[in-house]
């Protein structure tokens, strides 16, 4: 787990107008923290601090520390709203968690040995069907990412969720719904142009064979 700490302040003014002033005049992002036994709290975080944290992929799948005017709370990022056209963070939602809190979120997939797998060496290219996995795990065991080793993936083979070795305590949400939800994660096939060329070559050889018959 990464060690992310965000400094926050309590905000009393709420509503669209107050949030707009907070973003434009103070350079801060309005947010809310909820969950656990405490009441929801409206807070704000410096926008520059948020943007810095967002540079790390693991920020979205890590347990974070919110330092709210000296009081520290352990949270995960639940939602982040961005302006559709401008580089502006509109609002963030944080959920309080403890070490044993069962958390459901998406974590990125990191593919290993992609360029050197057997299928690529045989002329294929790797296609990713999933780039992140929906998981459930105690907060203390949340992985920043999950590795998928493609070293032994051969031409025209696929990797399914069930083929991934998950860390201890981590479960696939999709697989919990049954075998029908064992989705394809990645596959390796020959490029479309190469397949078409082989097909045309085969047709040509067949035609030559027919014309040579008496």
Burial 83-94 (b: 16+ CB within 10 A, else e): eeeeeebeebbb
Pair 30, 23: CB distance under 8 Å? yes
Domain 103-196 has CATH 3.90.950.20: no
What does pLDDT average to in each consecutive run of 10 residues of the chain (214 residues)? 84 82 91 93 96 93 94 95 94 94 94 96 96 95 95 96 96 96 96 59 54 56
181, two tokens: 């939800």
- Give pTM, 2 decimals: 0.80
Architecture of domain 4-97: Beta Barrel (2.40)
**CA nearest 100: which of 141, 46, 135?**
141
Pair 160, 85: CB distance under 8 Å? no
Question: Would you state the pLDDT for residue 210?
Answer: 59
Query: Within 13 A of 73's CA, how many CA atoms are on the CB side?
Result: 25
Domain 4-97 matches domain 103-196 at the CATH topology level: no
Domain boundaries, the chain: 4-97, 103-196
189, two tokens: 């096939």
Full strand arrangement of the beta sheet holding 102-112: 146-149, 102-112, 132-138, 171-172
Pair 68, 9: CB distance under 8 Å? yes
Question: Would you state the pLDDT for residue 3?
Answer: 77
């Amino acid at each position: 787990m990464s060690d992310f700490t965000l400094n926050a302040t309590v905000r009393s003014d709420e509503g669209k107008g107050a949030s707009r002033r907070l973003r434009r005049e103070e350079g801060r992002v309005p947010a809310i923290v909820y969950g656990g036994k405490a009441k929801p709290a409206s807070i704000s975080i410096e926008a520059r601090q948020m943007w810095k944290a967002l540079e790390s992929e693991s920020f979205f799948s890590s347990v974070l520390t919110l330092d709210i005017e000296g009081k520290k709370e352990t949270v995960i990022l639940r939602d982040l709203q961005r302006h559709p056209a401008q580089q502006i963070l509109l609002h963030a939602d944080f959920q309080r968690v403890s070490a044993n809190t069962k958390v459901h979120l998406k974590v990125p997939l990191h593919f290993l040995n992609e360029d050197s797998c057997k299928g690529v060496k045989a002329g294929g290219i790797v296609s990713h069907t999933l780039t992140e996995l929906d998981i459930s795990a105690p907060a203390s065991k949340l992985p920043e990412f999950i590795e998928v080793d493609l070293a032994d993936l051969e031409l025209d083979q696929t990797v399914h969720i069930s083929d991934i070795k998950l860390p201890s305590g981590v479960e696939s949400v999709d697989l919990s719904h049954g075998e029908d939800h064992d989705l394809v994660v990645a596959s390796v096939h020959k490029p479309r142009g190469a397949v078409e060329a082989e097909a045309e070559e085969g047709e040509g050889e067949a035609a030559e064979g027919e014309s040579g018959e008496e």
